[in-house]
Amino acid sequence: MLFNSAGYLFFLPLTVLLYYALPHRFRWILLLAASYFFYLLWKVEFVLVLMSATAVSWYAAMQMGKFPKKKQRRKYLVLAICINLGMLVFFKYLGFFTEFINQVAGIAGRSSVIPYYSILLPIGISFYTFQTIGYSIDVYRGILKPEKNLGVYALFVSFFPLVLAGPIERGRRLLPQFHIKHDFDPTLFTSGLRLILWGMFKKIVIADRLSIFVQPVFANIGYFHGIEVALAIMLKMMQVYADFSGYTDIAIGSARLLGFRLSPNFNRPFSAQSIAEFWNRWHMTLTSWLRDYVYFSLPFKYRGRIVNWRMNLNLVIVFVLIGFWHGPYWNFIIFGLLHGTYIILERTFKPIMSNFNRITGLTRVPKLLTGLNIIATFLLVCSTGFFFGSHPVGDSFLMIRNLFDFSHTDKAILLPLLKNSDLLLSFGLIIFMLLFEYLVKEKSFALKFMGKPVAVRYSAYLFMLFFLLVFGIFASNQFFYFQF
């Protein structure tokens, strides 16, 4: 069931009505049943994987809770990580590894040594696997006590707003909320509705409209050149942002209708002034997960002291994992490697850039310097967009080569682009989205808006809904991150 489907517009209100109609002690049962029903609609077999991940991590945590020392808990942590990570590797990466081994064998002059199997990927597995592993590690570290109620823990893993594509929640943040009685909160409820409306707007009006321009270029990579490729890459990054942040807004908004508060996942990433800052604003629950459970678990010392090359190596490892988490393709590995490399270069040349900005006088014009940093960061992010996809890696390098080929760019191409009303509308919508989010985050627009008369507020809601209905692309397109 897609968030942007008619079925969800029936499912969500019904679940909310039943939730508040039931006594508190029965509400988790309703939410668990609703969450499994929501997930079952994708494929019945997927539920078996979800249940297995839930059962293993719950059992391991319960066993760890019996022992006071980490040494006694370690074997159960290893059990939870190996089985949950093993399922992720089996379903998502088995084909990649078998193909890689066979290619290496082919280079060595041997025929295929491992049969290749194409296995259907259970939807959401990348997200709930990290959630269960994070829970197991927190219990192991003593940060969190194990959840004794298997049903409540199963709800934590399968909660319908986040099971398909996050946010990746921590047990210590979400699990206690299932034990609290949530009385109907009009303020939280209306903020949830606003988030759902805004998320739908970003997905249906902006992201799906941008895909009309992006998809043909990536489907016919050898055909497009110059300005067409440049536009496609920039629009793609905006499409992915509008799509994924739109999903997150709907997820967080849906949870708010029920009284739950999920973690934020985006914070205006295209206002970042460096790649490091970009990743502090983009898919924040993934980056914070890898920071807490991977980065700080890696060694930083060499011969007893902290060394820069160790820190840089750790950064590369984490960002390669970020890329590989997105999909079993070389493209994504290069995508992560590029981001890690950019951050290392930023750290290395930071003193030089600070001196350059001081000598050129840019430090005396902070707004100009900020603007230049934002533009440079955006262009660096776009440069990695060539590799953000499951297309062959050779096609990515072909697109890069075609980007600098302007021999096909003439008035016959430029004039239709400049006069394309849909393209101009898309640019207008992107500017509106970025400006609106700036006003909400930086200028407290939401608080000021809530102080306006009821007629003004509801007129704005109706206008947004009208705009969504008129300009929306109602093709029930899947959200971009569902493939991960």
**What positions carry a catalytic annotation?**
326
Kindly provide the b/e burial profile for residues 42-79, where b requires at least 16 CB atoms within 10 angstroms of the residue's own CB: beeebeebbeebbebbbbbbbbbbeeeeeeebeebbeb
Task: Decide if 12 contacts 257 (C-beta within 8 A).
Answer: yes
CA pseudo-torsion sign 243, 246, 250, 255: positive
Task: Decide if 469 contacts 206 (C-beta within 8 A).
Answer: no
| CA–CA dist 359, 312 (Å, integer) | 29
Which residue bears the tokens 């297995």?
52
Backbone angles phi, psi at 329, to 5 degrees: -140, 150
Helix pair 227-257, 366-384: axis angle to 10 deg: 100
Which has the closest alpha carbon to 171: 144, 192, 195? 144
Which has the closest alpha carbon to 326: 316, 317, 315, 336? 336
Q: Per the structure block, which two tokens stand in for 327? A: 């999909």
413-416 LR contacts (CB < 8 Å, sep 24+): 413/227, 413/228, 414/227
Using DSSP's 3-state secondary structure scheme, residue 27 falls into helix
Q: Which amino acid is at 327?
A: G
| CA–CA dist 384, 405 (Å, integer) | 19
